[in-house]
Amino acid sequence: MSSLLRRYAISRSLFKPTTLHRAIKKLGFVQADPIRAPARAQDLTLRHRVTNYRAGDLERRYARLPIEEDFFINYGFVPRELHALMHPRTAGQKWPKARLRQANEVLAFVREREVVHPREVDAHFAYGKATNWFGGSSNASTQLLNGMHYRGMLRIARREDGVRVYAPREPVTAIAEPAATMDRLVDVIVNLYAPLPAASLAQLIVMLKYGVPHWLDARKSAFARAKERLPHAAIDGITWYWPQGENPWSRRHVVDDKVRLLAPFDPVVWDRRRFEILWGWAYRFEAYTPASKRVRGYYALPVLWREAVVGWANLTVIDGRLTSSFGYASGRAPQDPTFRRERDAELARIEMFLGLS
């Protein structure tokens, strides 16, 4: 049964590469991360699913696509239809009157100019510095823009050298029905991460607090409905859930011989609970772990071969050349010559993706 679940998890997520728009729509959500090692997580995720994808394509083409940067279960990129489901959004922390006044002043400024860079806002309003969420200092105007974006007052028009550039977002007047909308959001989660153990499904529904903080009380009933309406089966004491219309036991779920280096947040490996159940070892993201305590490396990429995640890789670019180091869960690399050949082919694909060859 575990072998069938592994094949199902891999084949449904690593679908035939398509256009960037179709891939994002099919996934429903692409988690973002600013670290480049050797590229951002969103680029590492999309390169497996978009034809001829190159690092930075998402940022370069974002303004022309019907997608938005927004919070869902984390921060990332969503189709515009999903973005609309989560607004109007009421943040958990209510702004004091003075802060709201500042936000309205900035909103009028952005509307007048249509698109603004944060430095324009900072230069015009000179709000000074403020303590950020991790204890450091950043421009108060930057924090204000972030808060306005989260509340749906602004949208991300594009990025310039990685910096968010803002535009006004037209307010939504129609109020969605919570139960039906929550069910649609849960369906996006299940479509992205299936098959899901019950505990992981519950965890992900809790994480909707980021996308729809105004519906915190609706999460428990959404989970109860999901357990009733979604296909599921108990295997070795674990109940698994998947989307309507799919059959995890179908023979059409096959995997190829390719070696793939996956982003730490790739849907195949995102759920660490499922990872340990399916592949029998613990993978951890250690970029924010002190160097002395890291086991697998700063930005270890899970190594998928056939239906197994056999280990991890750390990649760096030095003087324009890709360097790599590998570790293996069993302590040694697979001895099949096919693995070595496919591993080298994957490194060559990454060089092309990075524009190194």
Q: Two tokens at 197?
A: 């153990």
Distance CA 290, CA 274 (A): 25
pLDDT for 127 equals 66
Distance CA 307, CA 347 (A): 19
Can you give the pTM of this predicted structure? 0.94
One-letter amino acid for residue 214 of the chain: H
Query: Most distant CA pair in the chain: distance in Å?
Result: 66
Other Cβ atoms closer than 10 A to 335: 7
Query: In terms of Cα–Cα distance, which of 91, 111, 101, 92 is closest to 155?
Result: 111
Host H or E run for residue 317: strand 308-318
pLDDT for 137 equals 47
pLDDT for 128 equals 58
CATH, range 97-168: 1.10.10
pLDDT for 129 equals 54
pLDDT for 134 equals 45
pLDDT, mean of each 10-residue run, the chain (357 residues): 90 98 98 96 98 98 98 98 94 92 95 95 75 55 93 96 94 81 98 98 98 96 98 96 96 95 98 97 95 96 98 96 97 96 98 94
Distance CA 336, CA 340 (A): 7
Q: What are the residue boundaries of the structural domains of the chain, listed by start? A: 97-168, 259-354
pLDDT for 64 equals 97
Distance CA 11, CA 253 (A): 6
pLDDT for 140 equals 79
Distance CA 102, CA 92 (A): 19
List alpha helices for the chain, DSSP H. 2-13, 20-27, 41-46, 57-61, 80-85, 97-113, 118-125, 140-150, 178-193, 198-206, 219-229, 272-279, 337-354
